[in-house]
Structure 1
Amino acid sequence: MDTQRERILQAAAEVLAERGFDAGRLRDVATTAGLSIGSLQHYFETRDALFREAFAWSIDNLIERWRTLAVEADSAWRRFELLVQALTSDPDLARRCATWTEFCASAARREELQDGVRRVQAEWQTLVSEIVHEGLRSNEFAPVLPVDLAIGSLVVMVDGCEMAVAAGAGLTAERYAELLLGTARAVLGVRA
């Protein structure tokens, strides 16, 4: 990807987190990126197109990191631990959580954003599901709930934690990881 384009997308993601989809302006992105508005318009025709792509870029980077880190594990539980570590040790955790929460809220008002939210939800559900099914095959997991409920519980717990971090409710990265791992251990019946 073009370095300038990536710089613009990163700046737009920061503006999304700080101001929201509806209140963010091209001027804000230009200032954050250290560019002129004309430079932004060279890459993106409209503000909405820029913010939609910034959200997709942000999420694609995160998903790629999740998939890369979790692949090298020697067990399903270790894979889940690495996934949680990647999720909660993000140096931009508060910004990422704010961007995600803002994008979900905006998608409730703007139909054109709903596919992006659904794609992220589906990708996260798939990652968790793959790990759970791997753990079932290897007998590492003995879920105390039906498998689909166990997976669903973990997926929605992440959303709740992301909202708590975004809202500044005092949920630290360490506590987020502790809650998610503890719940997963109990719900999945981790044997190791």
Structure 2
Amino acid sequence: MDEQRERILRAAAEVLAERGFDAGRLRDVATASGLSIGSLQHYFETRDALFREAFAWSIDDLIDRWRAAAVDAAGAWRRFELLVGALTSDPALVRRCATWTEFCASASRREELGEGVRRVHAEWRALISEIVEQGVRGGEFDPPLAADLAVGSLTALVDGCDMAVASGSGLTAERYAEVMLGTARVVLGVRA
């Protein structure tokens, strides 16, 4: 990807986290990126197109990092631990959580954003499902409930933790990881 385009998308993602989809302006992105509004419009015809692409870019970057973090682990539980580590040790955790929360809220008002939100959920569920299936097949997990319910519970827990981080409730990255791992041990029936 063109460096300038990525710079714009990164700045737009920051603006989305700070101001939201509806209140963010091209001027805010221009200031954050150090570029003119004309330069932004060279790459993106409209503010909405820029923000939609910034969200998609953020999603792709996040999903790539999630998948890379868990790919080489020896076992299912270790894959899950590495995934949670990648999720919670993100240096831009507050921005990521705020952007995700903002896009979920905006998607409830703007249908064109719904597909991106659904794609993130589908990717996250697929990744967790792969880990759960591996753990059940390998005897590491013995979920006390249906596997799809366990996956759904962990997916919902991520959303709840993301909202808590975004709102400034005091949920730290360390506590986020503890909550995810502790809950997963129970709902997946992790064997010692």
Shift in Å at residue 124 of structure 1?
0.3
CA distance in 1, matches of 2:123, 2:181: 19
Q: What's the RMSD between the two structures over aligned residues?
A: 0.4
Shift in Å at residue 104 of structure 1?
0.5
CA distance in 2, matches of 1:169, 1:117: 23
Q: Which amino acid aligns with 2:155?
A: V
CA distance in 1, matches of 2:59, 2:90: 12
CA distance in 2, matches of 1:148, 1:68: 23
| Match of residue 118 from structure 2 | 118
Q: State the secondary structure of the residue aligned to 1:109.
A: coil
Percent identity between the two aligned chains: 79
1:45 paired to 2:45: yes
Ranges in structure 2 where 5+ consecutive residues have no aligned partner: none
1:30-41 equivalences under 5 Å are: 30-41=30-41
| Match of residue 102 from structure 1 | 102
CA distance in 2, matches of 1:134, 1:103: 31
| Match of residue 61 from structure 2 | 61
TM-score, scaled to structure 2: 0.99
Shift in Å at residue 147 of structure 1?
1.0
CA distance in 1, matches of 2:150, 2:158: 13
CA distance in 2, matches of 1:95, 1:37: 23
Q: Which amino acid aligns with 2:86?
A: A
The number of equivalent residue pairs is 192
- CA distances 1:137-164 after superposition (whole Å, capped 9, x unpaired): 1000000111111111111000000000
Q: State the secondary structure of the residue aligned to 2:108.
A: helix
CA distance in 1, matches of 2:151, 2:103: 23
Shift in Å at residue 127 of structure 1?
0.4
Q: Which moved more, 1:142-151 or 1:173-182?
A: 142-151
Q: Which amino acid aligns with 2:88?
A: T
Q: Which amino acid aligns with 2:170?
A: G
| Match of residue 191 from structure 1 | 191
1:169 paired to 2:130: no
CA distance in 2, matches of 1:44, 1:6: 12
Q: Which amino acid aligns with 2:149?
A: L
CA distance in 1, matches of 2:155, 2:101: 15
CA distance in 2, matches of 1:144, 1:150: 9
Shift in Å at residue 99 of structure 1?
0.3
Q: Which amino acid aligns with 1:103?
A: F
| Match of residue 150 from structure 2 | 150
CA distance in 2, matches of 1:69, 1:171: 22
CA distance in 2, matches of 1:67, 1:147: 20
CA distance in 1, matches of 2:154, 2:183: 8
Q: State the secondary structure of the residue aligned to 1:16.
A: helix
